[in-house]
Structure 1
Amino acid sequence: MASTAPVDSVPPELSEVEQKQLDAANAERERREQDALPYRWRQTLNDVTVSVPVPPGTRGKQLDVVLRKDSIRVGLKGEPPVIEGTFPKEIKVDDSTWTLDDSREVTISLEKVDQQSWWPHVVTSAPKIDTTKITPENSKLSDLDGETRAMVEKMMYDNQQKQMGKPSSDEQRKAEMLRKFQEQHPEMDFSKAKIG
């Protein structure tokens, strides 16, 4: 006997409690899958860092590390690779590096080409993470280089001034320049001057 349910029926929406339980179960499954990988990884929007353990005492010349724009292979020469596969998105090979740390771990820094999206996995054959659940770390002003920090602080100050109905830093600078010019040239009439 044929089913009477419409083909395009949508599953009923979950209650808030059911959604939280489902999210928790998915997060636990995801954690188990990631813990089972033979490597650890983390990411920012700019890059992906992969840590691959190797036997203590490993030397650089024993390693087989190949980074291409769309794939990776890391392991010991003559043995099956610890990680091998295709990236979900391309990397900048010339800006990506690897190091052997304490003769026991290979750390690979992969510079993303697309720096506006999260990767669901390092290689497409690995289990995916739910990228919609990623909460990026807040940047601190102290993490920024001097020029960027100054620009951000200026933008924050100007926004605060605007909200209070006060002049921005540029407007204050122009008013100060005019004031100094007027002091230096008292013979000039500035009564009809417009600043803007």
Structure 2
Amino acid sequence: MSEQLSFQPPAPAEDKPELTEEQQKALDLVNAQREKEEQAALPYRWRQTLTDLTVSIPVPAGSKSRDLVVEIKKKALKVALKGKGPEGVIIDGELPKEIKVDDSTWTLDDGKEITLSLEKVNQQTWWPHVVTSAPKIDTTKINPENSKLSDLDGETRAMVEKMMFDNQQKQMGKPTSDEQKKAEMLKKFQEAHPEMDFSNTKFT
């Protein structure tokens, strides 16, 4: 006698409740505070533009270049104090994106701080962290004014700002600027030609 197997369809996933504006603001504040604390706990400070990263790493006063291990690779970074074992490792991990090794440098300033300058290969994206093992920042919250956009010519700046807007829209599941323009054009055409049916029109 064979057993009859019955198939139970999975229960539909519950829709996440939409947050009110006040709830979203409160959540953003909590996330921003958590991100600030996580970044402050790192053994280095870092900032970025669309083209490069600058990482500042405090080291014991009086340090010499020969006391340090600094390895800059296309997709990896290591900074450590020689002879200190695992405790001497400051950064050792994979980079989220590739860098131009030949255009990346490091210096030892006043024997107490290492400054790394890492040149990005893809100069159209923000990095969420220096190495993939570190806590992420919310790249959608980066203010363009914090970058060198003001140094760009008008056409390039407009292109970069459009790219950043589209990137944020995609991450939020919203239409890009091009998709918005196409939808607006279709809407105007529909208004001018109400006798035509555009219900199944899709843009690629």
Scaled to the shorter chain, the TM-score interval is 0.5 to 0.7
Please tell me the residue identity of whatever aligns with 1:54.
V
Please tell me the residue identity of whatever aligns with 2:128.
P
- In the other structure, the counterpart of 2:91 is 83
Cα RMSD (Å): 2.1
Aligned counterparts, 1:1-196, within 5 A:
6-79=11-84, 80-137=88-145, 139=148, 143=151, 152=154
Could you state the TM-score of these two structures normalised by the residue count of structure 1?
Answer: 0.68
Could you state the TM-score of these two structures normalised by the residue count of structure 2?
Answer: 0.65
Please tell me the residue identity of whatever aligns with 1:43.
Q
- Measured in 2, the distance between the counterparts of 1:60 and 1:109 equals 16
Deviation string, structure 1 residues 52-91 (Cα, Å, up to 9, x no partner): 1000111111110000000000121122311110000110
Percent sequence identity over aligned pairs: 61
- Measured in 2, the distance between the counterparts of 1:7 and 1:46 equals 44
Q: Larger Rg: 1 or 2?
A: 1
- Measured in 1, the distance between the counterparts of 2:98 and 2:77 equals 11
- Measured in 2, the distance between the counterparts of 1:36 and 1:113 equals 28
User: Compared with structure 1, are the counterparts of its residues 140 and 23 closer, same or farther at alpha carbon in structure 2 (3 Å cutoff)?
Assistant: closer
User: Compared with structure 1, are the counterparts of its residues 112 and 76 closer, same or farther at alpha carbon in structure 2 (3 Å cutoff)?
Assistant: same
User: Compared with structure 1, are the counterparts of its residues 140 and 20 closer, same or farther at alpha carbon in structure 2 (3 Å cutoff)?
Assistant: closer
Q: How far off its partner does 1:136 sit?
A: 2.0
3-state secondary structure, aligned to 1:94: helix
**Which blocks of at least 5 consecutive residues in structure 2 are unaligned?**
1-9, 156-204
- Measured in 1, the distance between the counterparts of 2:137 and 2:76 equals 19
3-state secondary structure, aligned to 2:144: coil
Q: Greater shift after overlay, 20-29 or 58-67?
A: 58-67
- Measured in 1, the distance between the counterparts of 2:59 and 2:80 equals 8
